[in-house]
Each structure stands twice: as C-alpha cells, then as structure tokens.
A and B are shown apart, each in its own frame.
Chain A
Amino acid sequence: MSLNRREFIQNAAAAAAALAGAAALSRPAAAASNPVRPPGARAEGEFLALCIRCGRCGDACPNQAIQTFTKEAGRRFSMVPGRGEEGTPVIFPRLQACSLCQSDKGDVLRCGEACPTGALRLVKKEPEAVQAQVEMGTAVVDKNLCFSYTTACCGVCIRACPFKGRALKAGMHETPVVDPEFCVGCGLCERVCVRYPQAISIRAGRRVTA
C-alpha cells in the first residue's frame, strides 16, 4: 500500500487526533493527592514512572488492602486520583489496612513479590527489613479526639500495632505515643480505632528517619 503525501498527512493527523482525544479522556484533572502506597513502594515519582498499573499487587494482597485508585474508590475519603495516579495501587487504611503479610506463609511481602517492574521493592518479612524498607507513612495521633487522652483508657491501637512497644508505645492510661522512627505506616491502628473520626490516622509519605 503506497501513500501520497496528502494521504500521509491526513493519516498522521487522524492518528494525532485519536491519541490526543484518548489522552484528554483519560487525563485526570486534580493535582497529586499523596495516597498511601503498598509497602516497599519506591519514592513517589519513581514509583509512578515504574508502575504499569497492572493490578498484580492487589491480586496478591492477602488482606485485600491494596485497591485500584479510581475516582469511585477514593470518593469515601475525599481522595481524587491526581495527574498520572489513576489506576495505581493504593491503600485506604480506614477501609482495610496493610497486615504486612503477618498471618501469611512465605518470607517476603506478597505485593513486592508480585510486582513485575520493581515499582514495589521485594521486602523480606523480618522486622528489621520491614523497618528499613517500608515507608508507607506515619501514624499521627489527634489528642483532642483520642479516648485515652480525653476520657478513658482505650489502647486498641497499641494492641493492633505490629511493632508495639517500638512504633506505638503506651503512655500513662494507655495513651498512644508514636515513634516516627519505627512507624512504617501500615495503618492497622487507624483500622481498629473505635473513635470516629479516627483519632489516629496515617499521614502518607516518607517517614521521618533520624
């Protein structure tokens, strides 16, 4: 099939129009929303570049905590997928938190094992490796809301913490005290918090390391 110049230009224009139209259809409007990523995720920019939005980590997650980030999925938490974030894996700890595969067999975190591109690192399940490589976020306590700080002993979040005594220490009357150096942001404390709005919640992003 041979083309003359006019046909070639027409074809190229049609291709460009189709590409632009589809890109416009799928282009999200909002700015970056800073969601909680699965454990072992690389720094946000690198993560978004590596991730191919295939959903394998979500299928592998034994706690079904990893969701596909869509407008509908984030609606309940005022979270709108930002530019380039549509279809990426995300965790809403309020809905289902990361259990760090603790009730699961095997010696690595399953999402990192499932990731085909290395957007999620392969993380061993030993506490030291998790501490070193998992940076989902940091728990933040709102002392105005927390039962232990305001009215009565509660301590539910401290019991849920996989690194209790280190990441989440119990103060007087079981008040939760977060140590940002050890907190990996798994969100089990937010998941179990009986207060609503949650007195303890995960602030996503790199955790503060000393």
Chain B
Amino acid sequence: MKVRVWPLRRAVQLGVLFAILMAPVLARYEHYMSARSYEKMEKAFAGRAVGVWLKAAEGLLGVGLRWEEGGVVGRRPRKRLIERARNLYGSAWSARVFGLSLTDLLAGFESAAASRGLRAVLVTGLAVPLLLTMLLGRVYCAWVCPMGLVSALARQLRRLLVFLELKPLSVELSRADKYAVLAVGVFAAALTGLPLLHHLYPPAIVGRESHALFQAWFDRSEAEMFSVPWQALGAGTLLLGLLLIIEAAVVPGFWCRALCPGGALYSLFGRFRLLRVTRKKAACIDCDLCDRACPMGLQPMSDKTGMECDNCLACLDACPTDALKVGFVKKVGAAAVLLAALGVSASAHHILGIPHYAYDKEWPQAPVLKLVEKVGEWEVQFTGYPGRPKPGVRADVTVYVWDPATSAVYDGSIRLEAAQVRALGGQRTFFGPEESRRNGTLHKFSVTYPEDGNYELTLHLTAGGVPSTLRFPLVVGDPPSPWRPLGLGTGAFVMFFVAARAVRIKRARRQRTAP
C-alpha cells in the first residue's frame, strides 16, 4: 500500500487556515481574561457562534493544563492561559509563533522597497523563511499559503463543470508573467512609498480579512448583536472569489503558476534548493501521469522542474511505479542550512487603576457613535446614545454645533427629521421635523425607532443665513443585510440548475447505453 502525501498536505493547509482564523480570537480571549471578564462574556455569548470560537480558544490553550490557580483546585488557571494565548499573533503574511518572528518574503521586500531601507527587526523576521526557502524551495506555496485551498476548491468546481458538460475554457498564461508582476509591484512601492502587492496577495488578504471580520464580530457581539458582520469584509474577499471563479472556469491554476508575485519571489530563492524531487530513470515508464498531476504545470517525467517546483509532491502520489523520490541532494549542506535556521532567534529585542468597565451593562456607556460634518465654518457633531439603538426603546440624539476656530457655539434652531430607509431607495418618515430641546450648548432629541433597519436622520439648520440640510446614516438593532435574499436566491438558483442539468445528463447517458 502506497503512502499518499496529499492528505498530509491538505491537513497542514487546513491547520494553517485554522490558525489564521484563530489568531484574532486568541487576542480577544486574552483581552477578556486580563480584563477579568471572561466568565461574564462566556455567559453572554452562550449558545452563539462567537461563544463557540471563544470556547475553542480556551480548549486549545488549556491542553495539558491543570485547572488550578492560587492553590484553588477547579479555578481557571488565568495566568497560564494568558501566557499561552500570547504565542500566536498575525497570519500567514506575518506571524509571531512562540516568540519566533516569521515574515513573508514579499512583505519584507515591499516594506523595504516602500521605505527604501532595511531595518534590523525586519531582517530577523525574514531570516527563517529565507533560509527555509533556500533549503526546501517554494514549500510556503504548497504547504502554507491559503491560496492552495482555493485552488483545490477550484479544481473540484472544474470537475463539476466538466461533468455538467459546460466545457470550461483552458487558456494558458506564461509562467514568466509573475516576475513582471513582482517587478512592477516592487517598483511601484519604491516609487509611491506605499506597498501595493498586499492588495493582491492571497495570504495577506486572508489574514487581513479574518482579522477585520472577527474584530467586527466580537465588537458587535459585546453590544448583543450576534449576526455575522459580513459587511466587514472588503475588496480582498471579492478578489479571492474572482480568483476561484476564473480558476474554475477559464484558466486552471493560473494564479500560483503565472501571476503570484510572492510565488515569483519564492521561486527565485528556491532556485538552488536542496530538497528536490528526483527520478529513477530505470523505473520510469514514461506514462505522463506525473506531468498531468503537477499543479504548477511542470514536467517531472522529463526532469524539467526547475526553480518553480514547490515540493507539493503531487507527482509522487501520481507515479504508479515509485520512480519519483524526494530527498536532500547535498546532505552536509542541508544540515548546515537547517542548523543556521534553527540558530536564528527572532526575539532579537526584547493603567494606573483604569478599570475595565467596558463590559458592564450597568456602567453608563458613553456612545460609540460620533459623526462629524462641516457646514461653512461650523462643525456639526452628531452623537447618539446608545450608539446603536434598539428598536422600540427611546434613544437620544445629541447635536453639537460649534466653530473650532473661535469656539463660538451655534445659537440658531435645529430641526430633526428621522426616516427609515427601505429597499430601492424608498423612505418612510416617522419622526418630525421637530424642534430640538436645548440643554446648555447641546441640542437634544428623543427618537423611538419602530424596527430593526437602516435609518437616515436629517438635520435642518440655518448656518450663516443659508438654510442647510445634513443627512446622517444610522443603523438600529441588527437588520438583515439587503444582500442576503439576493445571495440565497442566487445560491438556490445555481443549486437547482446544477441538479436539473445533472439529472438530464444522467438520463441522456442511460438512454444512450440502454438500447
């Protein structure tokens, strides 16, 4: 029985993805622990998805720990858990794992190019990835990068398209293009002083988007809104989806092969790698299976792997005669580089009574909503209490208008109108226009919102003799996203289409074989 490599590779990739998703959760777990409010949050998040993530974090951190602290058996070992939670920061783009700083080569190159300098901190973070790449080749691409999972998914989708007789296209892009992308990107970074390639690079996108998603998710959950805030995801997710569709329907595997700037960089450094796939000519039967299995489009059958090989070992799995082997070509050199990699340590450097009251419902939380608009010389500050009101409960709106240059306070009248924003730009006014209550320098209104949804509050004021109208957006409660029905509808349509087509194809095949 031949031992396959791909299940191991898939497991490593999934493990890395899980760690990327877990990093922001561990950070939040540590925060709750050090704020001594974990028990409270556990109760508040019970039965919710965020609670499950927190529990997973604790389960992971608590492996092998005795539940004991300060001599009390059964008490959560708070200090040890906090200590352990600090062992993972960041993502596959740049991470700190057990005190070891690991930074993607592309990140290092871009940062150095954009700032036109190389700092010692960065060098220590690049050392281990650089040495490992020189030793093992592009293994980052095959074993770590989350794009590998997207590509694998695209390959399955492509099989589905073929089964449905939808005839996916097959365009070939040159593998040399990625070096052009890398050169253009690094040049642009050096020119503008702003890194550009991290917008395109899948490991950077996945890390950034997972951080943004979990931050928004926990922030909203603390205010008792538990739906997943998909709106926190940005253009990066869109780009990943686009890559998936293009890989499935037009150009299989094109990103890693032909366009990825990081892949180009790792290829350059992996050129003289010591871990290589070699072929026993006597055992090879020239069956071409390895060439077809190679996700990089290389030819192991004729020893044409060059510097692009990422040691994914798919060719070893495909080989029917075990003619392909993987191993270090220069044993002594490999041992020396490995020792150097191990020797490099990345840890090259090493409230006065402020209470953590943020999680107490009883504490009079000041609003976390402050919208600012300018009208002539006046600055209009719009705050709501609470920042995200609940429907059916009276909520305050406070407006403060002043001139920052002279500190003069606006003395005229302000009227407020509140309208619910409906689908397709429809609006329904349910409040005002109503004159404000004056409270010193402030203008106050009390509005009760009828239901969860998006609202628009309109202020009418006369600034400098000119009547002005200002519009402020406000979200009440936890409204469902307007994209939800569209997404569900599209998903249902695609499922129906796939199922109907599959049934038709099966039937046609049966008829063809029946007579």
Contact = CB atoms under 8 A, between A and B. Distances in A.
Physical interaction between A and B: yes
B215 A22 contact: no
Interface string B351-364: 11010001000001
B215 A188 contact: no
A174 to B, nearest CB: 17
Q: Specify the main secondary structure of chain B where it touches its partner.
A: mixed
Given A52-B198, A56-B89, A117-B103, A7 B119 contact: no
A117 B121 contact: yes
Nearest to B116: A49
Given A15-B180, A99-B351, A196-B366, 13 more contacts: A23-B199, A56-B94, A59-B27, A68-B215, A70-B232, A102-B354, A116-B121, A116-B122, A117-B111, A143-B407, A151-B440, A188-B354, A196-B367
Contacts of A107: 350
Contact of A50 (B115, B373, B441): B115
Interface residues of A, number: 80
Contacts of B385: 196
Given A68-B208, A84-B194, A197 B383 contact: yes
Interface of A: 1, 3, 7-8, 11-12, 14-15, 18-19, 22-23, 25-26, 45-46, 48-56, 58-64, 67-68, 70-73, 76-78, 83-84, 86-87, 92, 94-96, 99-100, 102-104, 107-108, 113-119, 122, 142-145, 150-151, 160, 162, 164, 188, 193-198
Given A12-B177, A54-B93, A60-B27, A116 B351 contact: no
B195 A52 contact: yes
14 contacts: A15-B258, A26-B239, A50-B115, A54-B208, A55-B91, A58-B215, A64-B31, A73-B216, A87-B212, A108-B350, A116-B90, A122-B350, A144-B409, A145-B400
- Which of A45, A59, A72, A108: most chain B CB closer than 10 A? A59
A12 B107 CA distance: 24
Contacts of A145: 400, 441-442
Contact of B94 (A14, A52, A160): A52
B259 A115 contact: no
Contact of B371 (A22, A78, A116, A142): A78
B198 A87 contact: yes
Nearest to A103: B351
Interface in B61-115: 86, 88-91, 93-96, 101, 103-104, 107-108, 110-111, 114-115
Interface string B178-191: 10110011000100
A108 B402 CA distance: 40
Nearest to A100: B351
Given A11-B177, A18-B259, A103-B34, A162 B351 contact: yes
B138 interface: no
A69 B189 CA distance: 20
A193 B368 CA distance: 12
Given A56-B96, A60-B89, A160 B354 contact: yes
Interface residues of B, number: 98
Given A76-B387, A144-B441, A26 B236 contact: yes
Contacts of B103: 52, 54, 116-117
Contact of A49 (B193, B350, B367): B193
A83 to B, nearest CB: 8
Contact of B212 (A56, A72, A119): A72
Contact of A61 (B27, B176, B219, B234): B27
B107 A54 contact: yes
A195 B99 CA distance: 42
Interface in B109-137: 110-111, 114-116, 119-122, 125
Nearest to B472: A78
Contact of B366 (A3, A59, A108, A193): A193
Given A50-B111, A55-B208, A78 B354 contact: no
Nearest to B203: A54
B351 A62 contact: no
B173 A14 contact: yes
A18 B107 CA distance: 20
B484 interface: no
A54 B207 contact: yes
Contact of B199 (A22, A60, A95, A103): A22
B235 interface: yes
Nearest to B33: A62
B349 to A, nearest CB: 6
B234 to A, nearest CB: 6
B200 interface: yes
Nearest to B384: A196
A8 B324 CA distance: 33
